[in-house]
Chains A and B, each alone.
Chain A
Amino acid sequence: MIFLQLFIEFFQVGLFAIGGGPATIPFLMELADRRGWYTRADVANMLAVSESTPGPIGINMATYAGYHAAGLAGGLVATLSLVLPSIIVVILVARVLKSFAENPYVNAVFGGIRPAVTGLIAAAVLGLMQTAMFTDENGAWRFPIVSVALCAAFFAAMQIGKLRRLHPVFWLIAGAFLGVVLKL
């Protein structure tokens, strides 16, 4: 039963993706390998669409992934399953807001998880770049010099003082424009 599988998988993502939208990427990459509902290349497309449309990226990704797995109803099930753990945990925490944030054990748990999530996201981002940039349609290695140079240029530009505060949407529009002009 695909909907039950979707529910179980995305409930897990919602429960363990700590640190917001980007934290869902390692899980979605893993799902691509394990369940085969979509490919790693699809994840790159999903991210491109999710970043350039309104709404939280994690929610957009879940809707998209669920759609790939089981159509429109799949998107709905995946998204609702993703937010259910949030609702449960936040309602539990909301009662004890202050003591939760100040509890040393809670802080210890998250003190361990936060750096680990950083490592997990770094691994997922490298995997995603490998798929999105360095692999052609047949799965063979490629090196698109223009795209790589452009990516490096964008990343460098994001380090410049005033540009750092620029909203991501501006970068995405610039990327779409350059993509069309340079026929990437």
Chain B
Amino acid sequence: MKEYLELYAAFFRIGGLTFGGGLAMLPMLRYELEEKKQWVTEDELLDYYAIGQCTPGIIAVNVATFVGYKKKGLPGGIVATLGMVSPSLLIISVIAVFLEQIMQYPAVGHAIEGIKVVVCALLLQTVLTMAKKNLSDLIGILTALAAFMLAVFSPVPTVCIVLLAGAAGVCFYLWERRKGA
């Protein structure tokens, strides 16, 4: 029981003290899990991160599940994940309840507008970073372009575009292998 509480508390701290999620969370994960608790090694953490990025879902949650699972099996994975999402649930619920009211203050409205401008810039930056990382060859560029066009100009659901892209990836791999053989 004590170990579950420890898991929950550690991930509650990580979720409650890091802004930005994803990669921004790595230093905090390293500090809590590697230096303080010594639950994982540096290599393990980076492995979890790499695989957390290419498994579905929120990266931070995937890493939490990996670490919890390693410590205490399935219940550990669940407890760690709940610890990670608890601060978000609390904080966002409180904000959601009161946002309408506090938005009445002009200063808050102006601040939110300013934050939105930064969010737009940050998102453009995210797209740029992802493009640099993922669009390394012609096939990648064409895939991204096709997905972009489908998303903007067609009613094809996002889920189907993701599935199509995965299937296209396999077809391309088989084709390359055949060409190579």
B111 contact set on A, CB distance < 8 A: 176-177, 179-180
Q: Assuming A86-B56, A97-B51, A114-B134, is B20 touching A168 (CB within 8 A)? A: yes
Number of interface residues of B (CB under 8 A): 96
Closest approach, in angstroms, between the C-beta of A175 and any C-beta of chain B? 3
Stretch touching chain A among B2-10, B34-42, B164-172: B164-172
B33 within 8 A of A: no
Q: Is the CB of A112 within 8 A of B92?
A: no
Contacts of B118 in A (CB 8 A): 51, 151, 154, 171-172, 174-175
8 closest Cβ pairs, A-B complex:
A179-B114, A112-B169, A175-B118, A116-B165, A86-B57, A56-B21, A119-B147, A108-B173
CA distance in complex: A50, B92 (Å):
8
Would you call the interface of chain B mostly helix, strand, loop, or mixed?
helix
- With beta carbons under 8 angstroms apart, the residue of B96, B119, B170 that contacts A67 is B96
Q: Chain B residues near A54 (CB, 8 Å)?
A: 15-19, 87-88, 91
CB-CB contacts below 8 Å: A87-141 with B: 87, 89-91, 93-94, 97, 100-101, 104-129, 132-133
Contact B55 A121, beta carbon cutoff 8 Å: no
A interface majority secondary structure: helix
Residues of B within 8 A of A155 (CB): 121, 124-125
- Give every chain A residue within 8 A of B66 (Cβ-Cβ): 90, 94
Q: Please count the residue pairs between chain A and chain B whose beta carbons lie under 8 angstroms apart in the complex.
A: 370
Question: CB within 8 Å of B: which of A34-84?
Answer: 44-45, 47-60, 63-64, 67-68, 72, 75-76, 79-80, 82-83
Q: Which residues of A contact B (CB under 8 A)?
A: 12, 14-22, 24-27, 30, 44-45, 47-60, 63-64, 67-68, 72, 75-76, 79-80, 82-83, 85-87, 89-91, 93-94, 97, 100-101, 104-129, 132-133, 147, 150-152, 154-155, 158, 167-169, 171-172, 174-180, 182-184
